[in-house]
Protein backbone atom coordinates (compact mmCIF):
# COMPACT_ATOMS: atom_id res chain seq x y z
CA UNK A 1 0.00 0.00 0.00
CA UNK A 2 1.21 3.52 -0.77
CA UNK A 3 0.75 5.74 2.31
CA UNK A 4 0.95 9.52 1.89
CA UNK A 5 2.04 11.21 5.10
CA UNK A 6 2.26 14.91 5.83
CA UNK A 7 5.41 15.94 7.70
CA UNK A 8 4.54 18.93 9.89
CA UNK A 9 2.18 17.99 12.69
CA UNK A 10 2.39 14.29 11.83
CA UNK A 11 6.11 13.49 12.04
CA UNK A 12 7.70 16.82 12.94
CA UNK A 13 6.38 19.01 15.77
CA UNK A 14 6.42 22.22 13.75
CA UNK A 15 4.02 24.23 15.90
CA UNK A 16 6.11 24.02 19.10
CA UNK A 17 9.07 25.52 17.26
CA UNK A 18 6.95 27.99 15.31
CA UNK A 19 4.99 29.40 18.25
CA UNK A 20 7.85 31.47 19.76
CA UNK A 21 8.26 33.24 16.39
CA UNK A 22 4.52 33.81 16.12
CA UNK A 23 4.38 35.21 19.65
CA UNK A 24 6.72 38.04 18.66
CA UNK A 25 3.81 39.39 16.58
CA UNK A 26 0.79 38.28 18.60
CA UNK A 27 0.34 36.40 21.84
CA UNK A 28 -1.30 33.07 21.31
CA UNK A 29 -1.26 29.44 22.35
CA UNK A 30 -1.45 26.27 20.30
CA UNK A 31 -5.21 26.15 20.98
CA UNK A 32 -5.62 29.53 19.25
CA UNK A 33 -4.36 28.15 15.93
CA UNK A 34 -7.52 26.83 14.32
CA UNK A 35 -6.37 27.24 10.72
CA UNK A 36 -3.14 27.59 8.78
CA UNK A 37 -4.65 30.76 7.30
CA UNK A 38 -3.44 32.88 10.23
CA UNK A 39 -4.99 36.14 9.03
CA UNK A 40 -8.45 34.59 9.41
CA UNK A 41 -8.07 33.29 12.97
CA UNK A 42 -5.28 35.20 14.72
CA UNK A 43 -4.95 38.95 15.15
CA UNK A 44 -1.96 39.44 12.84
CA UNK A 45 -1.58 41.56 9.72
CA UNK A 46 -0.57 40.27 6.31
CA UNK A 47 2.65 42.30 6.53
CA UNK A 48 3.56 40.69 9.85
CA UNK A 49 2.80 37.24 8.48
CA UNK A 50 5.28 37.86 5.67
CA UNK A 51 7.89 39.06 8.18
CA UNK A 52 7.17 36.06 10.39
CA UNK A 53 7.70 33.52 7.58
CA UNK A 54 10.90 35.23 6.44
CA UNK A 55 12.25 35.05 10.01
CA UNK A 56 11.18 31.41 10.43
CA UNK A 57 12.71 30.37 7.12
CA UNK A 58 15.96 32.30 7.63
CA UNK A 59 16.47 30.60 10.99
CA UNK A 60 16.42 27.13 9.40
CA UNK A 61 13.52 25.99 11.59
CA UNK A 62 13.04 22.86 9.48
CA UNK A 63 16.44 21.58 10.58
CA UNK A 64 15.72 21.60 14.33
CA UNK A 65 12.20 20.30 14.82
CA UNK A 66 11.30 17.73 17.47
CA UNK A 67 9.60 14.49 16.51
CA UNK A 68 5.89 14.04 17.16
CA UNK A 69 5.60 11.43 19.91
CA UNK A 70 5.72 7.85 18.56
CA UNK A 71 6.01 9.00 14.93
CA UNK A 72 9.34 7.30 14.26
CA UNK A 73 8.19 4.02 15.79
CA UNK A 74 4.93 4.11 13.80
CA UNK A 75 6.74 4.81 10.55
CA UNK A 76 9.18 1.97 11.19
CA UNK A 77 6.22 -0.39 11.59
CA UNK A 78 4.39 0.95 8.52
CA UNK A 79 7.53 0.93 6.35
CA UNK A 80 7.92 -2.85 6.79
CA UNK A 81 4.98 -3.60 4.49
CA UNK A 82 4.12 -0.31 2.79
CA UNK A 83 5.63 2.42 0.66
CA UNK A 84 5.93 5.66 2.62
CA UNK A 85 5.54 8.90 0.67
CA UNK A 86 6.25 11.99 2.75
CA UNK A 87 4.31 14.82 1.15
CA UNK A 88 4.53 18.38 2.45
CA UNK A 89 3.52 21.82 1.23
CA UNK A 90 6.89 23.12 2.41
CA UNK A 91 8.71 25.16 -0.20
CA UNK A 92 10.95 23.09 -2.45
CA UNK A 93 13.93 25.21 -1.40
CA UNK A 94 13.79 23.40 1.98
CA UNK A 95 14.29 19.96 0.43
CA UNK A 96 17.90 19.68 1.66
CA UNK A 97 17.04 20.82 5.22
CA UNK A 98 14.07 18.44 5.31
CA UNK A 99 16.08 15.51 3.96
CA UNK A 100 18.88 16.17 6.47
CA UNK A 101 16.34 16.26 9.32
CA UNK A 102 14.70 13.01 8.17
CA UNK A 103 18.04 11.24 7.89
CA UNK A 104 19.31 12.57 11.23
CA UNK A 105 16.14 11.27 12.90
CA UNK A 106 16.35 7.98 10.95
CA UNK A 107 12.82 8.33 9.58
CA UNK A 108 12.07 5.56 7.08
CA UNK A 109 10.50 6.64 3.79
CA UNK A 110 10.50 5.79 0.11
CA UNK A 111 9.96 9.23 -1.37
CA UNK A 112 10.02 12.85 -0.20
CA UNK A 113 7.80 15.31 -2.05
CA UNK A 114 7.80 19.04 -1.23
CA UNK A 115 5.13 20.81 -3.23
CA UNK A 116 5.36 24.59 -2.67
CA UNK A 117 1.67 24.72 -1.88
CA UNK A 118 -1.64 23.08 -1.21
CA UNK A 119 -2.78 22.41 -4.79
CA UNK A 120 0.30 20.35 -5.68
CA UNK A 121 0.25 18.64 -2.26
CA UNK A 122 -3.30 17.45 -2.84
CA UNK A 123 -2.42 16.32 -6.36
CA UNK A 124 0.46 14.23 -4.99
CA UNK A 125 -1.65 12.80 -2.17
CA UNK A 126 -4.39 11.70 -4.58
CA UNK A 127 -1.95 9.09 -5.90
CA UNK A 128 -1.81 7.37 -2.48
CA UNK A 129 -4.01 4.58 -1.14
CA UNK A 130 -4.42 6.33 2.22
CA UNK A 131 -3.26 9.67 3.63
CA UNK A 132 -2.27 10.75 7.12
CA UNK A 133 -2.79 14.50 7.53
CA UNK A 134 -3.47 17.24 10.08
CA UNK A 135 -5.21 19.75 7.82
CA UNK A 136 -9.00 19.56 7.81
CA UNK A 137 -9.06 21.41 4.48
CA UNK A 138 -6.78 18.86 2.81
CA UNK A 139 -8.65 15.96 4.42
CA UNK A 140 -12.02 17.20 3.15
CA UNK A 141 -10.75 17.61 -0.42
CA UNK A 142 -9.20 14.14 -0.45
CA UNK A 143 -12.24 12.56 1.17
CA UNK A 144 -14.50 14.12 -1.49
CA UNK A 145 -12.31 12.40 -4.11
CA UNK A 146 -12.59 9.02 -2.41
CA UNK A 147 -9.16 8.95 -0.74
CA UNK A 148 -9.24 7.55 2.82
CA UNK A 149 -7.73 10.01 5.31
CA UNK A 150 -6.58 9.63 8.90
CA UNK A 151 -6.82 13.12 10.39
CA UNK A 152 -4.70 13.88 13.44
CA UNK A 153 -6.74 15.88 15.91
CA UNK A 154 -5.33 19.34 16.59
CA UNK A 155 -7.03 22.70 17.15
CA UNK A 156 -6.41 23.54 13.46
CA UNK A 157 -7.88 20.25 12.26
CA UNK A 158 -11.24 21.09 13.72
CA UNK A 159 -14.08 22.97 12.13
CA UNK A 160 -14.04 25.90 14.55
CA UNK A 161 -13.19 27.08 18.04
CA UNK A 162 -16.58 26.14 19.49
CA UNK A 163 -16.61 22.56 18.26
CA UNK A 164 -15.08 19.85 20.42
CA UNK A 165 -14.60 16.25 19.43
CA UNK A 166 -15.84 13.58 21.78
CA UNK A 167 -15.48 9.85 21.30
CA UNK A 168 -18.30 8.69 23.56
CA UNK A 169 -20.97 9.79 26.02
CA UNK A 170 -18.61 9.71 28.97
CA UNK A 171 -16.46 12.35 27.26
CA UNK A 172 -19.60 14.32 26.30
CA UNK A 173 -20.75 14.47 29.92
CA UNK A 174 -17.26 15.49 31.07
CA UNK A 175 -17.17 18.32 28.49
CA UNK A 176 -20.64 19.54 29.49
CA UNK A 177 -19.66 19.60 33.16
CA UNK A 178 -16.49 21.55 32.32
CA UNK A 179 -18.49 24.10 30.33
CA UNK A 180 -21.05 24.55 33.12
CA UNK A 181 -18.42 25.58 35.69
Give the per-residue pLDDT at 160.
Answer: 46
Question: What is the H or E stretch that residue 11 is in?
Answer: none
Q: What's the burial of 70, exposed, middle or buried (CB within 10 Å: 0-12/13-18/19+)?
A: exposed
pTM of the model: 0.81
d(CA 92, CA 95) in angstroms, rounded, equals 5
pLDDT band at 150 (very low <50, low <70, confident <90, very high): confident
The domains of the chain, with CATH numbers, are 2-13+65-157 (3.40.50.1000)
Beta-sheet pairing, 130-133 with 83-88: unpaired
User: Across 83-97, 111-125, 161-175, which has the greatest mean pLDDT?
Assistant: 83-97
Q: Who wins on pLDDT, 34 or 55?
A: 55
pLDDT of 66-113, one tens digit each? 999 999 999 999 999 899 999 998 888 899 999 999 999 999 999 999
Amino acid sequence: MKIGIDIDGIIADFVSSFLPYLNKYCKCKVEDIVSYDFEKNIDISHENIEKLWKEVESNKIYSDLSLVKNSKMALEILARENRIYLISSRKKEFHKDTLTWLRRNKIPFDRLILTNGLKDKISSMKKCDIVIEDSLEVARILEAQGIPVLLFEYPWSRIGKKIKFVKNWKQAIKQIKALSR
